[in-house]
A and B are shown apart, each in its own frame.
Chain A
Amino acid sequence: VSTLVLGEHESGIVKQSSFSAVEAASRSIGEGNSISMLLAGSGASLQQAASHAASSHPSISQVLVADTDKLTHPLAEPWAELVHLVQHRGGYSHIIAASSSFGKNVLPRAAALLDVSPITDVIEISGSQLFVRPIYAGNALCTVRYNGVEPCMLTIRSTSFPVSLNSADSKSDAAPISQVDLSTFSEDSLGKSRYLKHTTQDTERPDLGSARVVVTGGRGLKSAENFKLIEKLAEKLGGAVGATRAAVDAGFVPNELQVGQTGKIVAPELYIAFGVSGAIQHLAGMRDSKVIVAINKDADAPIFQVADYGLVADLFEAIPELLEKLPSKN
């Protein structure tokens, strides 16, 4: 068995979710699995990311680098062609990416070019061809067996495959880095999509997907102004801010903070929900949190059925009191 992991990087650093994909490959797919990480982009930050990949996870045996200005932005069209090309040279048994917006965008397209059925959002690997994934917003779990030709292609939910601390940063000798020969890179569908811009909110807070504490606000917050209370509490706890679809739709916060079936999937040690009713689509995004706290005025809110600790209270009184009494993490 051999696995190709599609790596994502930013500012010269490989994303934690890509190491989760490595973790999934090394822990579960089989003995002697040789794991290569494929990185693409252009310029110095790509080369930095390659060194980062080569030295950061003991299971990575090779780093493949595709350096071309066609891949400066992680567009699905050139990436899918790249995966196709690298698979034809390397003959991998498995191709894995994290279920990030990048992995979800690229991997199914690449699978279509290779004429195989991908398996997305895998939360458990029970054998080299046997996978568990949530369906119906996590209200059922589906076990599927892949019977097709190689490669078997997966995206994995990174919260289900955390990178163990001792496997990160403990690499004695770096994996070899080699450049992908792009002389036969198919240009069939390239140039038909162009990257224009990326807008984001710069924030000092930790990333929602990997934060230890997540503080979430729902419709009960009533306004963008009031949502600052959630931000204050998150800052005090050194946590990230999340939101329900209702809060995002009402314009309190940007879409990237949405937790749920179609937003971010989080599994922090502590999840605190304020003014969140607990729609199944929201629960789908946070039900794997270790400890769930819900604070809501409505004692019948469904969120209380999944909460370890519930408090029926007005959040506008509870948050200031928590701000005053909770120990600071900073």
Chain B
Amino acid sequence: MKIMVAVKRVIDYAVKIRVKPDKTGVETSNVKMSMNPFCEIALEEALRIKEAGLASEVIAVSMGPTQCVDTLRTGLAMGADRAIHVDAPATLYPLSVAKILKALVDIEKPGLLILGKQAIDDDCNQTGQMVAGLLKWPQGTFASKVVLDKEKQVATVDREVDGGLETLCLDLPAVITTDLRLNQPRYATLPNIMKAKSKVIKKVTPDELNVEIKSDLELVQVTEPPKRKAGVIVSSVDELIDKLKNDAHVF
């Protein structure tokens, strides 16, 4: 069984983002870019499944401009066997991403498609659910534990939901999206970074996959959120209680 993993190149999670003065977006030039943390978790899970002898190959996929190749190299250095770069404009909305993924799944026929539950740039939390719908595959979103049964061809998935944990049993093939507590992703070692340089990254275009990029959304503006006004530092619990009672009126 093959596993396909989607990885997204985003502004590094530790960078404090800046909104552009002309409100067209956030500043991305000269800003550190990394693999979306949830995608790292997705890739790690795929690698662990392969290392447990339950999968034969892990394919990393990314879409966007040429720089996505860097993100794919990181994935290959972590241990993915090969990679596919879909050369596409930078602003792809999840519906287009889901259609491209479906086209790739139709070609590669993986038994599992694993994605991060959301990207930390647009915070959409949509793509996994959408590609599962297009494929008519079952979905295990926000997974914090995945157990594969190769014989029965099912995956048992614990999901982080509002009221605790939900456990589902999914027939394979299936789509899984990862939550933070699923695993702790590995770092790429130097020998593996070197080895990754000789691994294959295939390039395709949405046209070659017969996917029409549809844009039914228009970005109007990106702005800074309203700032909270500076607060006060109190010196004791008594003063705090006094402020809460008499200034904030919460008691």
Contact = CB atoms under 8 A, between A and B. Distances in A.
Contacts, number: 254
A226 to B, nearest CB: 18
Contact of A309 (B121, B141, B244): B244
B163 A262 contact: no
Interface string B188-225: 00000000000000000000000000111111111111
B139 A109 contact: yes
A255 B222 contact: no
Contacts of A312: 233
Contact of B133 (A109, A136, A304): A109
A206 B21 CA distance: 42
Contacts of B181: 248-249, 255
A262 to B, nearest CB: 6
Interface in B30-81: none
Nearest to B11: A136
Contact of A310 (B133, B170, B233, B238): B233
A147 B133 CA distance: 22
Interface in A130-154: 130, 133-149
Contact of A144 (B11, B118, B218): B218
**Secondary structure class of chain A's binding surface, majority of residues:** mixed
**Secondary structure class of chain B's binding surface, majority of residues:** mixed
B243 interface: yes
Given A194-B169, A256-B163, 10 more contacts: A80-B133, A101-B162, A108-B133, A112-B131, A146-B217, A189-B137, A201-B164, A255-B181, A256-B161, A280-B16
A270 interface: yes
A29 interface: no
B123 A136 contact: yes
A198 B132 CA distance: 22
Given A109-B132, A143-B223, A309-B232, A101 B161 contact: yes
Nearest to A194: B169
Contacts of A137: 120, 123
Contacts of A326: 241, 251
B121 A145 contact: no
Interface string A188-200: 1100111111111
B168 A75 contact: yes
A245 B164 contact: no
Contact of A147 (B26, B169, B216, B223): B216
Interface of A: 75-77, 80, 100-102, 104-113, 115-121, 130, 133-149, 188-189, 192-201, 209, 213, 245, 248-249, 254-256, 261-262, 264, 269-270, 280-281, 287, 290-293, 304-313, 318, 321-322, 325-327
B216 A149 contact: yes
Contacts of A149: 216
B240 A311 contact: yes
B222 to A, nearest CB: 5
Interface of B: 11, 13, 16-17, 19, 26, 93-95, 98, 117-118, 120-127, 129-134, 136-142, 144, 156, 159-171, 174, 179-181, 214-225, 228, 230-238, 240-241, 243-244, 248, 250-251
A197 B159 CA distance: 10
A100 B162 contact: yes
B162 A147 contact: no
B231 A327 contact: no
Given A140-B19, A262-B179, A270 B139 contact: no
B118 A262 contact: yes
Contact of A134 (B16, B219, B225): B225
B170 A148 contact: no
A310 B244 CA distance: 11
B124 to A, nearest CB: 6
A140 B216 contact: no
Contacts of B162: 100-102, 209, 256, 264
25 contacts: A76-B132, A101-B160, A107-B129, A111-B95, A115-B95, A116-B216, A137-B120, A137-B123, A139-B17, A141-B225, A143-B219, A145-B220, A148-B214, A192-B137, A193-B140, A194-B169, A195-B167, A195-B168, A198-B167, A248-B181, A249-B180, A261-B120, A262-B180, A307-B231, A325-B237
Contacts of B98: 112
B23 to A, nearest CB: 9
Nearest to A200: B164
A76 B139 contact: yes
Contacts of A121: 123, 125
A101 B130 CA distance: 15
A139 B225 CA distance: 6
B217 A198 contact: no
Contacts of A111: 95, 126, 130, 133
